[in-house]
Structure 1
């Protein structure tokens, strides 16, 4: 029997315009295209969005008028297939943030905004004002439940507003067709570190203060835990399934009568349990236990705690320091015992010290040997820029360009059974995929096509919400070694009263995670085809098919082949 395929596509066309005055120009634009405020040419309204059951369909409208618009509002009035309706539809408005500068080594296809204003946050408000001769994107998120009836859905979106000449109403018609393939869960391991706790508690309070609209938030208060829950729910909604926690610094330490350590793991437990209750946590990752004792090329110290006047104090020292040894000889066995009691020992992985390079690989290996003596069964993973520590790490995580430069070495490691992830941060720049705001959005989505193409089951990034003081106005103000980090490196969500706002980059990353899952599903039945489709998009670790129309064709084939 011939297999029947139902296509899920979003096809917009003008149904008509009934208004007191002519409405503004309204165009359907592929959601992978970043719209600058100065853009006027949006291309033909022929984009098709193909999605599986169980994911979210994104639709983007560009609204532009030569006169100011007050109260621009978009509402989906219906979206039906016979008697069945899709009801969970969110209308958002794309906001703009200012970049202080482009990356030091910008890509050839970098987006250059004349006013340095770039689209990113998805604003959740009922309407928005639009300046004259300014493009304003409207973003629709249409939830497609996993049990959605496949078939054609017809809908209308009503766009209203007021100009100097009066009010207008424009109706756009669109249709949706659904593929029968279902996405129930995703297997790609994705960790983007949330700033809910770390070794700088003042930073945590700052993050929560922004969320609570400048109200003071006490660490570990009821409001704090409510924010952690919101974070867990949002990360789950966007397919994040690995949580990094700065374990060492959220444990309470008290001395017993002999001056030995007593450990209270209750805050650590509450964070993990909150994420487990509100998400699908496949890996718990322990934050770094130490850091460089000087510049980039220097060796590593370990953090440790000691008691002064009965209170725990944070220090750092060499792995041979007697106080360091004393602390870890007590901490590691107690923590391992606790993980086993909580049945987390099989999913817990520990970072040691971050980003070892050739110059300090020896220092790293010394720490790894010390750690292995105390915890021979605890698994480790590490963000690395050297091949000299591979034997000491269960999961090496090279930065993308270092992986590219040393791919033959890592390919051999994979063939010998080594699990390998990759990470991005303010590096790599140039032509590599990353999540910078200045890059074409497709380069953010393709991060997870790289995961599939090169058999990398995990991805890590250091920052989910490491905000500056004004993240909704500026996007690249945080400094590292005296330099401005590329816009988008430090956060991918934005603060709002009582929670978090998504961004078009986070939407693209979620869709890339779904792409990975579809490729893995196809691989189980047709591995040659899944590899061929991935190869059409990912030419190498730094060369990709970034033409949106070509990408859509391949993605459609991926869905049709299921």
Structure 2
């Protein structure tokens, strides 16, 4: 690929945005020039099927575009769609595209502009792992590609001829909206040297009388791991300083609004053996006194937990990890006046000697803070014998300690793990699942670099996150886990690749609280699950068995076995249409 990134936008002083840098298209020389040649003159501004990614240098497929958009929504729901602007006229080169919209009106009611967002989508560098069996530890050079994913926080962007500029329209239906058909327009303004061209296209939303619960009340158990060390490095701020926490508040609030249930905390330094651009540090300071006793400083841990509680994330506090990938444990030794390291396996006595006094002290601290009942000692993808050894020590320190695990399904561990997330393609026996439900335990599925599809890579189909969310319902699970919400790389706004993982594996949102199509579609999937739960109760109460069975038949298509990737877009559309029609 061409590694030189070109600056394509002037300073957006009127919006307060920084300069926008978009990477060169490594495949621009492969663009179908015949498509541009057949295109008529003028500017094209159209709605585009939001299940499919646009190419920057190829004319959109005619079957995927429309002059208008008609959809349905529930009160309290957020709906999204994609649009695009393109032209072959040289006179539009280096012009400025500005976006705006009207309020939505029905016969007597209005959905105000405050509920509508219309933003450009930026292209980022991705790769193509589709021919691999796994996207973990990739040791080959993957084909680099440009994909539309990053939804910018501006309404103004550069526009060039023979380029397709994707756009994202998002509407939050107010909880108190009156049912009815609402209509409005989106407007694209192209500023040229001597005049401005305004193009507007209509759309409509039929708001039903159904009410989606508020996100704080969603039952879906979402667990996207946070990395505050990454954002502190990116913004060059002291980790957990007031400035840092204020800076990331909008992004954390976005996470909470998506129904996030878990707070990611770290007990030790580098629990994942430097698998991210920014190492996770310890939120608890381990200090060995000169007399051999231990002191534990919980200042940072408490500040992070209290901060996330204030944001609205408070169901679980997951504490990683008693079994780090490198089995190395760091502490400050007052006798040597420097940081020391212990290497120990869970089966060794030195391991228990290190962890047991901490766990006793930690339990007492959590009880004092009234957090003990929601805290878990968390582990991920570790050998079963190591986990069993660690669990023995945990329960010895306090039998009421709770444990969470993201890893393969082990029936032997099920009774000990209250928050258990297993890989997407793994299975849990029905009797164990029902036993866990009866105890109030949470069972979720996760994807990471292992699953080529469905997934949330930047190369993944836009519809795949919806499939992942609905799959948890099909299996009777409680929700979904993804290991990284915001583990940014060196240039996260431009290139989503990092290390030997598939592009986009390490983060779902961008700096400066810019969201992604992947994250927005995941939230759509979660909303779909919540809508289905409402419909199940209503249809059962009304005795509409045929409608209920039709819904259940549609849900059963979202399994984790024998998936036909080509059918996923059709399945997602079919389920969405059915849910909105019942």
TM norm structure 2:
0.78
1:523 aligns with 2:536: yes
Counterpart of 2:19 in structure 1 is none
Counterpart of 2:7 in structure 1 is none
1:137 aligns with 2:166: yes
Counterpart of 2:104 in structure 1 is 79
Cα deviation, residue 22, structure 1: 7.3
Counterpart of 1:247 in structure 2 is 267
1:540 aligns with 2:566: no
Cα deviation, residue 450, structure 1: 0.6
Q: Residues 395 and 225 (structure 1 numbering): CA distance in 2 closer, same or farther, change over 3 Å? A: closer
1:63 aligns with 2:97: no
Q: Distance in 2 between matches of 1:114 and 1:397?
A: 32
- Secondary structure (helix, strand or coil) at the match of 2:429 reads helix
Counterpart of 1:503 in structure 2 is 516
Cα deviation, residue 494, structure 1: 0.9
Q: Distance in 2 between matches of 1:368 and 1:469?
A: 37
Q: Residues 533 and 48 (structure 1 numbering): CA distance in 2 closer, same or farther, change over 3 Å? A: farther
- Secondary structure (helix, strand or coil) at the match of 1:437 reads coil
Cα deviation, residue 508, structure 1: 0.4
User: Any residues of structure 2 matched to 1:46-445 within 5 Å, and which?
Assistant: 47-67=69-89, 68=93, 70-81=95-106, 82-88=108-114, 89-105=116-132, 116-162=145-191, 167-183=196-212, 184=214, 185-196=217-228, 204=229, 206-210=230-234, 212=235, 216-248=236-268, 249-255=282-288, 258-293=291-326, 301=327, 303=329, 305=331, 307-308=333-334, 309-310=336-337, 313-352=340-379, 354-356=380-382, 360-385=383-408, 387=410, 389-391=412-414, 392-401=416-425, 403=426, 407=427, 409-417=428-436, 419=441, 420-429=443-452, 432-445=453-466
Residue from 423, 443, 452 that aligns with 2:473: 452
Q: Distance in 2 between matches of 1:304 and 1:30?
A: 51
Counterpart of 2:17 in structure 1 is none
Counterpart of 2:506 in structure 1 is 490
Cα deviation, residue 160, structure 1: 0.9
Q: Deviations over 1:226-250 (max 9, x none)?
A: 2343332121133222222113421
The answer to whether the Cα contact below 8 Å between 2:474 and 2:558 also exists between their aligned partners in 1 is: no
- Secondary structure (helix, strand or coil) at the match of 1:34 reads coil
Residue from 11, 14, 24 that aligns with 2:43: 24
Cα deviation, residue 560, structure 1: 3.9
Q: Which moved more, 1:74-83 or 1:318-327?
A: 318-327
* TM-align CA RMSD: 2.8
Q: Distance in 1 between matches of 2:54 and 2:257?
A: 25
Q: Distance in 2 between matches of 1:533 and 1:365?
A: 41
Q: Distance in 1 between matches of 2:124 and 2:567?
A: 24
Aligned residues: 498
Q: Distance in 1 between matches of 2:313 and 2:250?
A: 14
Q: Deviations over 1:186-228 (max 9, x none)?
A: 11111111111xxxxxxx2x53242x3xxx3222322222234
Cα deviation, residue 162, structure 1: 3.4
Q: Distance in 1 between matches of 2:122 and 2:189?
A: 19
TM norm structure 1:
0.81
Q: Deviations over 1:27-64 (max 9, x none)?
A: 11132322222242142526543322112121321111
Higher relative contact order, chain-length normalized (CA < 8 Å, sep 6+): 1
Q: Residues 222 and 314 (structure 1 numbering): CA distance in 2 closer, same or farther, change over 3 Å? A: farther
Structure 2, unmatched stretches of 5+, are 1-39, 135-141, 269-281
Structure 1, unmatched stretches of 5+, are 1-20, 108-112, 197-203, 294-300
The answer to whether the Cα contact below 8 Å between 1:530 and 1:558 also exists between their aligned partners in 2 is: no
